[in-house]
C-alpha cells in the first residue's frame, strides 16, 4: 500500500518547513509537485516528479505505485489544495499543513480569518456577491487577477472599495500594496467592500440592476417567487428572460447552482452578462427551447417556469425531472397560461396566488397608480415518496 504524505510548503521554502515536514520529504521515494514548489527544495535522493497536465491520471498512477510518496502543496493542502483530492483517493493520507495564504494575508492585515469570504479564481471566473463591509480574500490565478477583481468591483458600483494585493506572502519577496504593473503571479487580493449605492443582498433587486428588454419578472413579484422557491441546491429556470430568478437564486448562497434555459439567443447572451456583473458568472445558460433543451440537464432541486408554460410537455417534463421533495414555482400572466396553472394546481395541490402590483407615477402635476398586469403564481412541492 502506498504511503502518502502531503506537505504544505510556503514561499519561505525549505527553511520555513517544520521538523515533521522536512522528515517526510527526506524519507520519500518519490517527491511530486509543481516546478515552483520543487525548486524550493534542496538536493534530494528521491525521484522527482513534476506534475504534467492533466494532473489527475498521473496522480492516480503515482498513488498506486506502492512507493513512499511525498506530494508538495502550496500553504495548507486542505484549503483549495491538492490535499482534498488525494484524501478522496487515499483516505489514510497524512497531511502536514503550512499556514495558508489566507491565514498569512489575514495576519498581515489584522483581519480575523472568520471575517473573510475566500473565493478562488484558479481555473474559474470570479464569483463574489459584494455587499457593504464584506471582506474577501481572492486566490489569484496569476498577475492579471487583481485587475479582474478591480473591474468586477467597478462593474457593480463598488469602485470605492479598499483593494490590497499581497504578493509572495511569507517569502523574501513579500510585497503588500495596491495594483501595480509588475505584479508577481503568486498573489492574493484582499477586498473590503464599499459602495455609495449598494444593491440589496436579499432577493428583489431593483429592475434596473438587470440589462433587459422588458422580459423580466418584476422586482415585487420576483421577491415573492424567491420566497416560494427557497433557494437550496440546483435550480432550473425555464424561460430565462433576463436571468433574474436564476441569478437571485445563486446570490442567495454560494452553494446554490442554477441553469437557465432561454430560446432567444440575444436574451441568452444578456443573461450571461447580467450573471457576470451580479457576481454569479458560473450560472449555466442554455440557449434552446423547452422541453427539448431540458433533456440533458441534471435533475433539479427546484424548478421555476417563467416562460414556455403553454408549450407542449414543459410542465410535465419539469415535474418528472424534479427531485422528490423539490419545489416547482410557475408564473402566468395570460388566460392560457393561467388555465395550465389552474389544472396543475387541481391535480398536484400547492398554493395558487394572484398578485397585482401598482407603482406610483406622475399624472400631470399629481401622482397616480400605474397597475402592472396581475401575475398568478403556482407553488408546490413534489411529494418525498413520488414514485412515477
Ligand X SMILES: C[S@@+](CC[C@H](N)C(=O)[O-])C[C@H]1O[C@@H](n2cnc3c(N)ncnc32)[C@H](O)[C@@H]1O
Q: Does 340 bind ligand X (CB under 6 A)?
A: no
Segment lying near ligand X (by CB under 6 A), choices 23-31, 78-86, 121-129, 308-316: 308-316
Q: Does 264 bind ligand X (CB under 6 A)?
A: yes
Q: Counting beta carbons within 10 angstroms of the beta carbon of residue 350, is it exposed (0 to 12), middle (13 to 18) or buried (19 or more)? A: buried
Nearest distance from C-beta of residue 304 to ligand X, angstroms: 7
Q: Does 242 bind ligand X (CB under 6 A)?
A: yes
The residues, any chain, with a CB within 8 Å of residue 146's CB and separated by 6 or more, are 140, 163, 165, 179, 183, 187, 189
Applying CB under 6 A, which of residues 63, 139, 311, 332 lies at the interface with ligand X? Answer: 311
Applying CB under 6 A, which of residues 79, 257, 263, 327 lies at the interface with ligand X? Answer: 263
- For 98-125, letters b (16+ CB in 10 Å) and e give bbbbbbbbbeebebeeeebebbbbeeee
Nearest distance from C-beta of residue 202 to ligand X, angstroms: 16
Which of 98/251 has CB closer to ligand X? 251
Applying CB under 6 A, which of residues 267, 270, 327, 382 lies at the interface with ligand X? Answer: 267
C-alpha to C-alpha distances, 361 to 367, 369, 370, nearest whole angstrom: 5, 6, 6
Distance, CA of 296 to CA of 293 (rounded, Å): 7
- Rg of the chain over Cα atoms, rounded to whole angstroms, equals 26
Q: Does 135 bind ligand X (CB under 6 A)?
A: no
Q: Does 241 bind ligand X (CB under 6 A)?
A: yes
Applying CB under 6 A, which of residues 69, 149, 229, 245 lies at the interface with ligand X? Answer: 245
Which of 150/311 has CB closer to ligand X? 311
Applying CB under 6 A, which of residues 184, 262, 301, 338 lies at the interface with ligand X? Answer: 262
Applying CB under 6 A, which of residues 231, 239, 279, 315 lies at the interface with ligand X? Answer: 239
Which of 176/272 has CB closer to ligand X? 272
Match 502536514 to its residue by C-alpha cell: 96
Q: Does 243 bind ligand X (CB under 6 A)?
A: yes
* Contact by Cβ (8 Å): 146, 187: yes
Which of 241/350 has CB closer to ligand X? 241
Nearest distance from C-beta of residue 195 to ligand X, angstroms: 23
Give the DSSP per-residue string, 179-239. Answer: --TT--SSEEEEEE---SSPPPSSS---GGGS--SS-S--HHHHHHHHHHH---SEEEEES
Residue 78: which of 68, 87, 69 has the closest Cα?
A: 87
Chain residues binding ligand X by CB under 6 A are 215-217, 239-245, 261-264, 267, 289-290, 306-308, 311, 314
Amino acid at each position: 500500500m502506498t504511503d502518502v504524505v502531503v506537505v504544505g510548503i510556503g514561499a519561505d521554502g525549505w527553511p520555513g518547513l517544520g521538523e515533521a515536514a522536512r522528515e517526510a520529504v527526506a524519507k520519500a521515494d518519490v517527491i511530486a509537485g509543481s516546478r515552483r514548489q520543487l525548486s524550493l527544495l534542496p538536493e534530494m535522493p528521491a525521484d522527482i516528479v513534476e506534475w504534467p497536465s492533466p494532473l489527475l491520471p498521473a496522480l492516480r498512477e503515482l498513488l498506486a505505485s506502492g512507493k513512499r510518496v511525498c506530494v508538495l502543496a502550496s500553504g495548507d493542502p486542505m484549503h483549495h489544495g491538492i490535499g482534498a483530492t488525494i484524501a478522496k483517493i487515499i483516505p489514510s493520507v497524512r497531511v502536514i499543513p503550512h499556514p495558508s495564504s489566507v491565514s498569512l494575508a489575514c495576519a498581515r492585515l489584522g483581519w480575523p480569518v472568520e471575517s473573510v469570504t475566500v473565493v478562488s479564481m484558479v481555473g474559474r471566473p470570479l464569483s463574489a456577491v459584494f455587499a457593504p463591509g464584506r471582506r474577501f480574500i481572492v486566490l489569484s490565478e496569476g498577475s492579471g487577477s487583481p485587475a479582474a477583481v478591480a473591474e468586477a468591483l467597478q462593474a457593480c458600483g463598488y469602485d470605492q472599495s479598499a483593494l490590497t494585493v499581497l504578493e509572495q506572502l511569507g517569502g523574501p519577496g513579500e510585497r503588500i500594496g495596491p495594483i501595480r504593473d509588475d505584479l508577481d503571479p503568486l498573489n492574493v487580493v484582499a477586498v473590503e467592500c464599499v459602495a455609495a449605492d449598494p444593491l440589496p443582498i436579499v432577493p428583489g433587486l431593483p429592475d434596473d440592476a438587470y440589462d433587459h428588454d422588458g422580459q423580466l419578472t418584476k422586482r415585487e413579484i420576483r421577491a415573492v417567487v424567491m420566497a416560494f422557491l427557497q433557494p437550496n441546491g440546483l435550480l432550473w429556470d425555464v424561460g430565462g428572460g433576463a436571468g433574474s430568478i436564476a441569478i437571485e437564486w445563486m446570490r442567495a448562497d454560494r452553494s446554490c447552482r442554477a441553469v437557465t434555459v432561454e430560446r432567444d439567443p440575444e436574451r441568452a447572451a444578456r443573461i450571461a452578462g447580467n450573471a457576470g456583473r451580479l457576481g454569479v458568472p458560473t450560472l449555466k445558460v442554455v440557449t434552446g427551447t423547452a422541453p427539448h433543451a431540458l433533456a440533458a440537464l441534471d435533475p433539479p432541486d427546484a424548478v421555476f417556469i417563467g416562460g414556455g408554460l403553454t408549450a407542449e410537455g414543459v410542465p410535465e417534463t419539469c415535474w418528472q425531472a424534479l427531485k422528490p421533495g423539490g419545489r416547482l414555482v410557475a408564473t402566468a400572466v395570460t388566460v392560457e397560461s393561467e388555465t395550465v396553472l389552474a389544472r396543475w394546481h387541481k391535480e398536484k395541490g400547492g398554493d395558487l396566488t394572484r398578485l397585482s402590483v401598482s407603482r406610483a407615477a406622475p399624472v400631470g402635476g399629481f401622482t397616480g397608480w400605474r397597475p402592472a398586469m396581475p401575475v398568478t403564481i403556482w407553488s408546490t412541492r413534489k411529494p418525498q415518496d413520488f414514485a412515477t
